[in-house]
Amino acid sequence: MCGLKPIIAPSILSANFINLGSDVTLLFLNQCDWIHIDVMDGNFVPNISIGFPVLHQLRTLLVDKSKYFFDCHMMVANPEQWVATVAEYGGNQYTFHLESTKDPKNLVKLIHAHGMRAACALKPQTEIEQVLSFADQLDMVLVMTVEPGFGGQSFMPEMMSKVRKLRQLYPKLDIQVDGGLGPETVNVAAEAGANVIVAGTSVFKAKDQAKTIQTLRDAVVRHTSKL
User: Rule CB under 6 A: which residues touch ligand 5SP?
Assistant: 11, 13-14, 36, 38, 73, 146, 148-153, 178-181, 198-202
User: Nearest residue by C-beta to ligand 5SP?
Assistant: 200
The radius of gyration of the chain from alpha carbons, rounded to an integer in Å, stands at 16
Q: Which is nearer to ligand 5SP, 69 or 227 (CB)?
A: 69
Strand stretches in the chain, DSSP E: 7-10, 34-40, 69-75, 93-97, 117-122, 140-144, 174-178, 196-199
| Count of beta carbons in the 10 Å neighbourhood of residue 1 | 7
| Count of beta carbons in the 10 Å neighbourhood of residue 85 | 14
Task: Give me the least distance between CB of 75 and ligand 5SP, in Å please.
Answer: 6
Instruction: Say if residues 23 and 12 touch (Cβ distance below 8 Å).
Output: yes
Tell whether residue 73 is among the known ligand binding residues.
Answer: yes
Q: Is 221 helix (H, G, I), strand (E, B) or coil?
A: helix
Instruction: Say if residues 4 and 172 touch (Cβ distance below 8 Å).
Output: yes
Q: Which of 33, 38, 41, 174 is labelled catalytic?
A: 38
Q: Which is nearer to ligand 5SP, 104 or 179 (CB)?
A: 179
Tell whether residue 150 is among the known ligand binding residues.
Answer: yes
Task: Give me the least distance between CB of 1 and ligand 5SP, in Å please.
Answer: 29
The string of DSSP letters for 141-195 reads EEEESS-TT-SSPPP-GGGHHHHHHHHHH-TTSEEEEESS-STTTHHHHHHHT--
Tell whether residue 200 is among the known ligand binding residues.
Answer: yes
Tell whether residue 115 is among the known ligand binding residues.
Answer: no
Task: Give me the least distance between CB of 222 and ligand 5SP, in Å please.
Answer: 21
Task: Give me the least distance between CB of 106 and ligand 5SP, in Å please.
Answer: 24
Tell whether residue 185 is among the known ligand binding residues.
Answer: no
Q: Catalytic site residue 38?
A: yes
Sequence ranges of the binding site for a divalent metal cation: 36, 38, 73, 178
Sequence ranges of the binding site: 11, 36, 38, 73, 149-152, 178, 180, 200-201
Sequence ranges of the binding site for substrate: 11, 73, 149-152, 180, 200-201
